[in-house]
Amino acid sequence: MKKNARGIILVVVYCKGRNEMVIDLKEQFKEKLEQEFNCKWDECSNLKRFLMYRASRMKIDCDVSEQAVDQYLKKYPWIFNGQKSVQAKEHYKYEIKAEGTEVYRGDTMTSAWNFVRDAIQLADNYQTEVIENEKIKGSLSKNIKELILIIDNLKWDSINGLNKQLNDFVTNCHTAGNFLPVPLYFNSERSGYYANRDCWDITMIAIFGWYADNPELASINLDVVDIKKDKWLIGLFSGTGNGTKVMSVINCKKWLMKFERWSYFVKKNKLEVFVLKKKDKYLPKRIIDNKIYQFSQTTAQDFFNKDWKELKPGKEKKIKNWDSKDKENLVLYLENLNKSITKRSESFVMQKKMSY
């Protein structure tokens, strides 16, 4: 308890301990998941919890859950006059209706499933447990309920650190540090085929590129897509095979305009952990090695045609073609991501509360 200059008592509350700082929002559904899968949540591993959540029939998404939306309304002051509302034809999914026609929904900044799927296939006993014992063939995505039964049997002794980093990530991925409220037509539209580009450094690079191409925001026409000035957003939203999403680009432009400049976008969304500072300028960094992305070596077209693959641990190769360096990169990628997400989560909850 402290007093300010006027003698008013200030009660300062700090959250202590990682468990209080980094809340896994899957926890809000644990009783329902226990009933659905006939298990005790507290006795399940992080990986099993993640797979249960993903396989659930309940149509739940942590990033648009009621608890997540409540967090957005408290932690993001740029959302003016925001009101929580249930999404149309949904029960557990929410959105924020703000000034005018603005609508925001939560987005998971870097999705977990592709990394989990890759790790499963890299397990030392994958052939025995998955192929021979469970007789799983084809897409792992279509056999998650079978994977739940054997996930704790998988071993990664030959890839040092993977088991720990993977188990940490499937928890961290559903915390405040990996969520962000975004405009409509942003979330899945930026993800690419099967969410293969659903990684936050790819998105940060595109947003940085857009601000760099638009130094004079007052001259921007928000109702049209400019092929030259919006090329980084055109690339960001054209990875799903359906061409450029016009509304995605327009809504994203309107959203980015709120922050006036790149540095304000970073600060007001607490994204400092995903950039490095060079000569007082924030530059987006690669998750895989925590180094600044070199824009001078690419164009928007080249980046979204091929260069983005260099930011992924296996560079989009099939798992059977991964070498020891690719496997090492997966561990480093998850380790760097876990640190960044945890640090960002902590930045949201380390706050002062005043009582007069």
| DSSP annotation string for 283-302 | EEB-TTT--B--GGG--HHH
Count of residues in the chain:
356
Q: What's residue 195's pLDDT?
A: 87
Q: What's residue 12's pLDDT?
A: 29
Q: Give me the half-sphere count of Cα atoms (radius 13 Å) on the Cβ side of residue 63.
A: 20
What SS3 state is found at 90? coil
Q: What's residue 194's pLDDT?
A: 82
Per-residue model confidence as pLDDT tens digits over 109-147: 999 999 999 999 999 999 999 999 999 988 999 999 999
Q: What's residue 273's pLDDT?
A: 98
- Is residue 2 within 8 Å of residue 12, measured between CB atoms? yes
Q: What's residue 240's pLDDT?
A: 66
What SS3 state is found at 278? strand
The residues, ordered by sequence, that sit 6+ positions from 27 with a Cβ below 8 Å of its Cβ are: none
Q: What's residue 349's pLDDT?
A: 77
- Is residue 115 within 8 Å of residue 169, measured between CB atoms? yes
Q: Is 139 exposed, middle or buried (0-12, 13-18, 19+ CB in 10 A)?
A: exposed
Neighbours of 273 (CB within 10 A): 20
Per-residue model confidence as pLDDT tens digits over 169-178: 999 999 999 9
Angle between helix axes 46-55 and 30-37 (nearest 10 degrees) is 80
Report, as ranges of residue numbers, the positions in the chain whose pLDDT lies below 50.
Answer: 1-21, 352-356
What SS3 state is found at 130? helix
Alpha-carbon distance 182 to 104, whole Å? 5
Alpha-carbon distance 193 to 316, whole Å? 11
Q: What's residue 345's pLDDT?
A: 94
